[in-house]
């Protein structure tokens, strides 16, 4: 019974998200919401590795770019159906993430961060130099996934990806995988000593994360209809993914969605003033979050709620009452 009750609110939320294009027809706002969903999906993907497992990757543009380029290359060079390209990008994300994991998971702390950054940068440079396939800095056109002028089908597609990403996180948090990942984040040696296969679970988290990022990258490429290495493989992409999750709340199910909403709306608000410098707001908010709200918006909120609930339980004298009197 409680299981059913637990699953109702998220399902209701998913239905609400999916029904938005039925009454919202304004293309500008639909575009803004599509961007919110793109960053929700990416932030959630990052959150599995960076938030739950505590592995601060700043190289996730590699997977995003892989999805985007696989779709673009298979469509333009081989004439594939774009859906097949998206599927291939997601499949290829598995070996790429295992390869990157096999290198970077040997590194700890700052070296892990720098390692992920360096590998993603190498991929960007290769994409720039490998002109016969990627067209280099000139970029390639990407076919549309959906015909017609309406943005609604794009909305539904990315909404499904975002819901799946948040759904997987929701599932992870409630199953042993989530506990294992959290244990790895808190203390890797201890996690290992109690028999958790830390490398295995870190790789699992990275694979899930990479496949989600690749799917979103392919979607984004088709939505923009044009990609080049500096759009899909650059450092800012990796940074934005991490920032969305950190500002919303690392290691919380809905944190990335909250962060994506905040940041997309904030950068829309200042678009006219900042023009090319739209990441200024990301940098400022990231600094503010680290200094004043390290748990992120949702993380801090959840901590407060937990503390208040504990205090109330203590006051009503149920479980903590005795201990409180004793102290």
Partner 1 sequence: MELLAQLPQNLVSGLLLGGMYALIGAGLALVYGVMDIVNMAHGAFLMVGMYTTYLLVTHLGIDPYVGILITAPVLFLMGMLIQRLVIHRVATASHMNQILLTVGLSMVLVNTAQLLFTADYRQVRTSYAETVIRIGGVAMNLAYIISFAVAVAITVALYWYLMKSEFGRALRATAQDLHAAQLMGIDVQRVQMTAFGLGMALAGAAGALLTPVYYLYPTVGENFGLKAFTMVVLGGMGSVVGAALGGVTLALAESMGQIFVGHELKDAIGFIVFVLVLLLRPQGLFGRARA
What is the contact surface with partner 1 in residues (CB under 8 A)?
A: 54, 56, 58, 103, 106-107, 109-111, 113-115, 117-119, 121-122, 125-126, 128-129, 235, 239, 242-243, 246, 274-280, 282-287, 290-291, 294
Per-residue buried b or exposed e for 142-166, using 16+ beta carbons within 10 Å of the residue's own CB? bbebeeeeebbebbbbbbbbbbebb
| Measured CA angle at 36 (ends 174, 277), to 5 deg | 125
In angstroms, the CA 91 to CA 85 distance is 10
In angstroms, the CA 92 to CA 98 distance is 10
- Minimum CB separation from partner 1 for residue 42, in Å? 17
β-bridge mates for residue 227, sequence order: 140
Shorter beta-carbon distance to partner 1: residue 49 or 58: 58
DSSP secondary structure string for all residues of 12-47: HHHHHHHHHHHH---HHHHHHHHHHHHHHHHHHHHI
Shorter beta-carbon distance to partner 1: residue 183 or 246: 246
Tokens of 155: 């909305």
Shorter beta-carbon distance to partner 1: residue 153 or 278: 278
- Minimum CB separation from partner 1 for residue 225, in Å? 22
- Minimum CB separation from partner 1 for residue 104, in Å? 8
In angstroms, the CA 219 to CA 153 distance is 11
In angstroms, the CA 312 to CA 327 distance is 17
- Minimum CB separation from partner 1 for residue 292, in Å? 10
Shorter beta-carbon distance to partner 1: residue 67 or 229: 229
Shorter beta-carbon distance to partner 1: residue 103 or 307: 103
- Minimum CB separation from partner 1 for residue 124, in Å? 9
Shorter beta-carbon distance to partner 1: residue 156 or 268: 268
Q: Residue 98: enclosing H or E segment and its boundaries?
A: helix 82-104
- Minimum CB separation from partner 1 for residue 79, in Å? 28
């Amino acid at each position: 019974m409680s299981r059913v009750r637990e699953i109702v609110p998220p399902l209701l939320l998913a239905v609400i998200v999916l029904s938005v294009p039925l009454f919202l027809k304004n293309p500008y706002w639909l575009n803004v919401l599509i961007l919110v969903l793109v960053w929700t999906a990416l932030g959630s993907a990052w959150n599995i590795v960076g938030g739950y497992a505590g592995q601060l990757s700043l190289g996730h543009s590699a997977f995003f770019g892989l999805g985007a380029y696989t779709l673009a290359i298979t469509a333009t060079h081989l004439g594939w159906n774009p859906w097949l390209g998206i599927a291939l990008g997601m499949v290829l994300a598995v070996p790429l993430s295992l390869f990157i994991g096999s290198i970077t998971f040997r590194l700890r702390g700052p070296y892990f961060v720098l390692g992920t950054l360096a590998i993603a940068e190498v991929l960007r440079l290769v994409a720039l130099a490998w002109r016969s396939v990627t067209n280099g800095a000139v970029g390639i056109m990407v076919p549309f996934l959906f015909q017609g002028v309406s943005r609604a089908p794009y909305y539904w597609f990315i909404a499904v990806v975002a819901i799946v990403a948040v759904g997987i996180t929701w599932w992870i948090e409630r199953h042993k995988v989530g506990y294992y990942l959290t244990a790895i984040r808190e203390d890797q040696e201890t996690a290992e000593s109690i028999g958790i296969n830390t490398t295995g679970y870190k790789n699992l988290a990275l694979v899930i994360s990479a496949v989600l990022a690749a799917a979103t990258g392919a979607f984004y490429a088709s939505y923009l209809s044009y990609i080049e290495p500096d759009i899909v493989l650059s450092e800012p992409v990796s940074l934005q993914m991490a920032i969305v999750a950190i500002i919303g709340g690392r290691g919380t199910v809905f944190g990335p969605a909250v962060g994506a909403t905040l940041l997309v709306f904030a950068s829309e608000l200042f678009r006219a003033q900042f023009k090319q410098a739209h990441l200024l707001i990301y940098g400022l908010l990231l600094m503010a979050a680290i200094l004043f709200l390290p748990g992120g918006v949702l993380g801090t909120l959840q901590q407060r709620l937990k503390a208040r609930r504990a205090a109330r339980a203590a006051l009503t004298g149920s479980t903590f009452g005795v201990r409180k009197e004793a102290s």
